[in-house]
A = this chain, B = another copy of it.
Amino acid sequence: MDRSTPTAILLVSCPDQSGLVSTISSFISDAQGNIVDLEQHVDSSQKAFFMRVEWQLDGFGIARDQIHQSLETLLKRFGMQWSLHFSDTLPQVAIFVTRDNHCLYDLLSRHHSGDLQMDIPLIISNRTDLEPVAQQFGIPFHHLPITADTKAAQEEKQIALLREHRIDTIVLARYMQILSANFVDHYPNQIINIHHSFLPAFPGARPYHSAHQRGVKIIGATGHYVTSDLDEGPIITQDVIHVSHRESVSDFIRKGKDLEKTVLSRAVWYHLQHRVLVHKNRSVVFA
């Protein structure tokens, strides 16, 4: 894909019906738009339609600030959920961490090298362990310790910070606190978590210990959106690695870190590229 010129990206999901592709593609081509990527998916068991289409803004016959309005007129009859994005508008991302540094380093180094296109206005943590890493990369670090008593109040502070910085995406990079349902409801399909197992195997705490105890021959990691059901949110991407009887729990943890950071960054990449749609707790990832 040539990413050098700005593009518009339209994501749609709706009940399946005839004429969806032709309506949208004609809208674009009638205005001299050049489609650089189009993927659609029909889930025939759910009678649901999903589409992602990306076209170049250069030469497109509708002004950038008019596209949303034009689409609204066009699409209202279909009962669609849809969103419009521009490739040159950077997502605003907050990273939540606790103590482990591998996912944070991975995200920040990819951000630094341009592989993850986003702004990171702040890092939030319930501990101070990773403040030096934030400082290494010059990103403001907010320490908001959490106890059972302070949780509600601290989450309010978190939300205030997120609003202040117009955050649209939250990445939990091994954040070891469970977000309340209230918090999660503010950011539907906008909070990405890495779980250190191949879900639904080994949900909850200490999955590597459980995996070792069970004697599995493969361990995994899962990048998913956070819902109020812990470890039950829509899966974005997963990966695995083989292990053997020779490997202890600490070996599982060491090898698992490779998976965790790679899988999390991949999930974030899909999200930032507006490639993920969610329907009934499952994701459509136009990879």
Judge whether A251 and B1 touch: CB under 8 Å. yes
Q: Please, what's the 1-or-0 string for A232-253, where 1 marks a CB less than 8 Å from any CB in chain B?
A: 0011111110101110111100
Count, chain A residues at interface, CB 8 A: 78
A122 to chain B, nearest CB (A): 19
A95 to chain B, nearest CB (A): 15
Residues on B with beta carbons closer than 8 Å to the beta carbon of A248? 1-2, 44-45
Instruction: Kindly state whether residue A72 has any CB partner on chain B within 8 Å.
Output: no
Residues on B with beta carbons closer than 8 Å to the beta carbon of A37? 42
Judge whether B198 and A218 touch: CB under 8 Å. yes
A145 to chain B, nearest CB (A): 22
Q: A102-B109, A245-B285, A251-B1 are in contact. Are A35 and B42 (CB under 8 A)?
A: yes
Instruction: Kindly state whether residue A136 has any CB partner on chain B within 8 Å.
Output: yes
Judge whether A245 and B19 touch: CB under 8 Å. no
Judge whether B41 and A21 touch: CB under 8 Å. no
Q: Please, what's the 1-or-0 string for A21-44, where 1 marks a CB less than 8 Å from any CB in chain B?
A: 110011011101111111111111
Instruction: Kindly state whether residue A18 has any CB partner on chain B within 8 Å.
Output: yes
A110-B258 Cα distance, complex, nearest whole Å? 10
Instruction: Kindly state whether residue A125 has any CB partner on chain B within 8 Å.
Output: no
Judge whether A43 and B113 touch: CB under 8 Å. no
Instruction: Identify A245's interface contact among B105, B238, B283, CB under 8 A.
Output: B283
Instruction: Kindly state whether residue A76 has any CB partner on chain B within 8 Å.
Output: no
Complex A-B: 13 CB contacts under 8 Å: A2-B45, A2-B248, A18-B29, A21-B29, A36-B42, A38-B38, A43-B245, A100-B113, A105-B109, A199-B201, A199-B216, A215-B235, A244-B287
Which residues of A are in contact with B by a Cβ distance under 8 Å? 1-3, 16, 18-19, 21-22, 25-26, 28-30, 32-45, 50, 100-102, 105-106, 109-110, 112-113, 115, 136-137, 198-202, 214-218, 220, 234-240, 242, 244-246, 248-251, 254, 257-258, 262, 265-266, 281-285, 287
- With A18-B29, A21-B25, A258-B266 known, 20 other A-B pairs at CB within 8 A are A1-B44, A1-B246, A1-B248, A1-B251, A2-B248, A21-B21, A21-B29, A22-B28, A25-B25, A25-B26, A36-B44, A41-B246, A44-B248, A101-B113, A199-B201, A199-B216, A215-B235, A216-B235, A218-B220, A245-B282
